[in-house]
Structure 1
């Protein structure tokens, strides 16, 4: 049983595109890109994860190309950052906040779309995570930044796994609706922001690496 109707899922998807697009445009402004570069980077991060998702589940032409409505959030993000960027901080705080919003929404909508396509729960979780982190990974690589996904000083993939997992469990038990889906996204957003604020980290791949770094 589909717990969210298409309009709600589409709205959440578009919000995710907008949040991610703003993060891309903020990074573009910080790196000194022009308005065209800002629009392209915002579009890449905002639409990239969804394109990867739609290609994997063989959904036909990705929604980013088949529905012109998906082009509105990146354009709006580029315009807003162009007009307001001089009034906001040049640091990464605002970028992290918008990135966390996109991550939270995309891990939910990505997992939901995978489940609607008939994928098993494990595959749905993995696709939800891929949808959530894919755009940010493309953004950071394009802007020659260390991808947040691989930053040992931050948690990025784990909140996405939590959100995709919660969405899959709620869907499988028939409890997924607008309220519970929104709650899952809020939980992911809060975890991402708290991890960034307090410096929470995942265990290192090798324990000796941290000891060696401390000696250096």
Structure 2
């Protein structure tokens, strides 16, 4: 597939944007872990370049783009230096880091899809390469740092937006609007990622609220009372009466049981 000059230019703009953002985010993680300058540079570079390197290795279409275009290394180094020299912390930075991380999903998904199209691949490999490019850097970084890859805990926030971006771009390309598809796909992915993130938090909080037992039931268990009360009002009355009649030693013992049960319930809820 022959790519126009405008498409190639947009491809490199998006790629370099993703590289710069990923290098900065990776650098801040290395700084937080008190790495030296070598470890710092290594984490920043693998965060920003691994996805593209894996993609190009899978395609086996000559040397990887990061090795043939010096702009990749220069951009990654600039992002790493920025993170190293500037004290990036606080609520404003964490907010920026969160949205920047999601922005890279669309950028990388577009890059992976375009590379696959340029090599004449059909829809399924295009989507697979979009996912590989979008998650590769984060996955390799987490493995190197011996952390559970966020792909396995927040996969809906990374994989689904990458798939959506790739499909959108493929649809636009089908109708001969590849350039517009790249722009739309790069925007849709982070929007979907944000929606999935906040939607998931809302559902989790709602489920927790629904399954949360009333305080009077927890206190009844801690005090050793029967928990099959006829309504919340009766339960509250029985618990209040039991608390008034309990000695200090009994209250301490009940508090110990209450706290132990609370910790156990919250631990099981997160599992």
Q: TM-score range, shorter-chain basis?
A: 0.7 to 0.9
Report which of the two structures shows the higher radius of gyration computed on alpha carbons. 2
Query: Normalization by structure 2: what TM-score?
Result: 0.68
User: Residue 107 of structure 1 contacts residue 163 of structure 1 at CA under 8 Å; is this kept in 2?
Assistant: yes
Any stretches of 5+ residues in structure 2 without a counterpart? 204-266
Task: Specify which structure has the bigger relative contact order, considering alpha-carbon pairs within 8 angstroms and separated by 6 or more residues.
Answer: 1
Any stretches of 5+ residues in structure 1 without a counterpart? 203-211
CA distance in 1, matches of 2:92, 2:146: 17
The C-alpha deviation readout for 1:161-205, integer Å capped at 9, x for no partner, is 11111111211221221x442221111112222333443599xxx
Residue 214 of structure 1 corresponds to 269
Q: How does 1:63-78 map to 2 (within 5 A)?
A: 63-78=65-80
User: Residue 22 of structure 1 contacts residue 78 of structure 1 at CA under 8 Å; is this kept in 2?
Assistant: yes
CA distance in 1, matches of 2:178, 2:16: 19
User: Residue 132 of structure 1 contacts residue 160 of structure 1 at CA under 8 Å; is this kept in 2?
Assistant: yes
Query: Normalization by structure 1: what TM-score?
Result: 0.84
User: Residue 50 of structure 2 contacts residue 140 of structure 2 at CA under 8 Å; is this kept in 1?
Assistant: yes
Residue 137 of structure 1 corresponds to 139
Matched pairs, number: 206
CA distance in 2, matches of 1:36, 1:5: 36
Partner secondary structure for residue 33 of structure 1: coil
Query: RMSD of aligned C-alpha atoms?
Result: 2.6
Which of 174, 187, 211 is the aligned partner of 1:172? Answer: 174
Residue 100 of structure 2 corresponds to 98
User: Residue 39 of structure 1 contacts residue 74 of structure 1 at CA under 8 Å; is this kept in 2?
Assistant: no
CA distance in 2, matches of 1:38, 1:89: 23
Residue 7 of structure 1 corresponds to 9
CA distance in 2, matches of 1:147, 1:92: 19
CA distance in 2, matches of 1:107, 1:2: 17
